[in-house]
Amino acid sequence: MTTPPKSDPRLLFLAGSVRQNSFNKRLARLGAAISEANNIPSTFVDLADYPMPIYDGDVEAESGPPENARKLKNLMRAHTGIFIASPEYNAAFSPLLKNTIDWVSHTRDAGEAPLEVFRTRVFALGSASNGGLGGLRGLSMLRLVFELGLGALVLPDQFALPRAADAYDEHGHLKNKDQQEQLKTVIQKLARAARVLHG
């Protein structure tokens, strides 16, 4: 997998849930579809295809990071902007997402600077929940981890989808056209920021 040519933004969409009918997976999938519809090449990735054990320093010392962490990091490297749709669990983000981030952050190839894949991509955050705040509270912590812990550039714009159980139509689009436009705006800004960073 190679780094995309400069000035050609390529967006990766992932969700911090492996649940089959995950509201956040649907958000990430929709984001990728909106991106493609706006001529921005994109990929949706399901973390269910990249299972990893719970981080354990002994496991890392014995056998290194899991192969799936390396594969996911390479997939991230092949994109210049990354959108993360994150469930809110008790006002934080999901343990699946934290575990995935932690393993990827400890996966380094020869000659690779620490946290390089986080420091050289631009990120945008979203969330979906059946609650009234749409998982918004969990994004504060996720932003903190990305900015402070990983040194990542995170767009100030983010998207939270409340009442998610009733928000999608049968095609996976948002019934509320204003919300769909808001999501599109975040994605377009992500693509623009990725172009500036890599162009």
Ligand X SMILES: Cc1cc2nc3c(=O)[nH]c(=O)nc-3n(C[C@H](O)[C@H](O)[C@H](O)COP(=O)(O)O)c2cc1C
- Contacts with ligand X by CB under 6 A lie at 17, 19, 22-24, 87-91, 129, 131, 135
CB nearer to ligand X: give 42 or 129: 129
CB nearer to ligand X: give 77 or 143: 143
| Least distance in angstroms from the C-beta of 197 to ligand X | 28
**Token pair in block for residue 187:** 């994605």
97: CB partners within 8 A, 6+ apart? 16, 47, 84, 86, 142
| Least distance in angstroms from the C-beta of 59 to ligand X | 25
| Least distance in angstroms from the C-beta of 44 to ligand X | 14
CB nearer to ligand X: give 30 or 193: 30
| Least distance in angstroms from the C-beta of 154 to ligand X | 20
CB nearer to ligand X: give 160 or 191: 160
CB nearer to ligand X: give 22 or 182: 22
170: CB partners within 8 A, 6+ apart? none
| Least distance in angstroms from the C-beta of 104 to ligand X | 20
In Å, what is the CA distance from 195 to each residue of 8, 62, 137? 7, 40, 29
Q: What are φ and ψ of residue 145, in 5° steps? A: -60, -45
Cα–Cα dist 135/24, whole Å: 10
CA dihedral sign of residues 93, 95, 99, 100? negative
CB 87 within 8 A of CB 14: no
Cα–Cα dist 69/52, whole Å: 7
The Cβ of residue 166 has, within 10 Å, a number of other Cβ atoms equal to: 9
CB nearer to ligand X: give 1 or 165: 165
Mapped onto helix, strand or coil, the DSSP state of residue 12 is strand
| Least distance in angstroms from the C-beta of 90 to ligand X | 5
